[in-house]
Structure formats: C-alpha cells, structure tokens
Amino acid sequence: MLISRRSSPVWGIPIRWLFATLVLPVPRSSARIDMALTHGVPSFMQVLEVVTSEMQVEAAILAEEIKTLNPQLHATLLTHLEQLQQHQGNTIEIRYTSHEQFKKETADSQAVIRSGECSPYANVILCAGVTF
C-alpha cells in the first residue's frame, strides 16, 4: 500500500488504524485513505487483507454488534486474524465494545482506511507495532 508523505500524518507507536465502511462517521483529526470506488468495491476484507500483510497487528477492536448482525463477516475476520497470528508469530488481542463506544474510540485512530463495504458493523480498529 502506498501512502504519500504529503497526505500521511506523523506515525507513532502504537499505530491505530480504523478500517471503516462507507457510512461510519470518521474523526476529522485522522488522515483519510479512501479506497471506496462504489458500493462493495473494494470489500472490507480485500482492503484488510492487503494492509495487514504489511503491518504487525497486536490488537483488534470490534463492535459487539458484529457478532449477531454480521456473523458471516465476523467469522471471516476472526479466521483472517487467526491466520495473521500464525504468520506473525504473536497473539492478537481481540476486544469487543458497544458500537457507541467503538465510535468514540475512533478518535484515537491516526488513519481511517475506508472500503466500499456496505454491510453492517464491518469496521475494525487495528493496533499495530513495528515489524522489526
């Protein structure tokens, strides 16, 4: 993934990136990386898979509601995080919170990566460290 220096903020450790749908309100203070082309393109998982191949994920924060209101995507996401743990050789902490609290936590994200995803609660905050 390419991010120009002009459009990217100064990154600190830990890094918190929000992966968001088309409709999630995003903080004005975060850098925005808009990948959305149209409804569903690219999908949440397409964006997540590409970006996580380049980062050391330490934790994932999800809205509790994804479990019941988008169970298929939830299962796919958990499978991806499990595979990522094995590839990285670490444990990824998964934390759930209410959707209202999740929206508040987005304020701490350094960047928002928006996909074309339109399914409910297809959002995650990934906390990452360094790869070296």
Q: Over the stretch 86-114, which tens digit does the pLDDT of each residue have?
A: 999 999 999 999 999 999 999 999 999 99
Residue 131, CA distances (Å) to 50, 57, 58, 69, 128 in order: 16, 9, 11, 34, 9
Rounded Cα–Cα distance for residues 8 and 53 (Å): 19
What is the spatial distance between Cα 62 and Cα 123, in angstroms, rounded to a whole number?
A: 7
Q: How far apart are CA 5 and CA 30, in angstroms?
A: 15
Give the predicted TM-score (pTM) of the model.
Answer: 0.87
Q: Which domains does the chain have, with CATH numbers?
A: 43-129 (3.40.1650.10)
**Mean pLDDT value across the chain:** 89
User: What is the spatial distance between Cα 121 and Cα 130, in angstroms, rounded to a whole number?
Assistant: 28
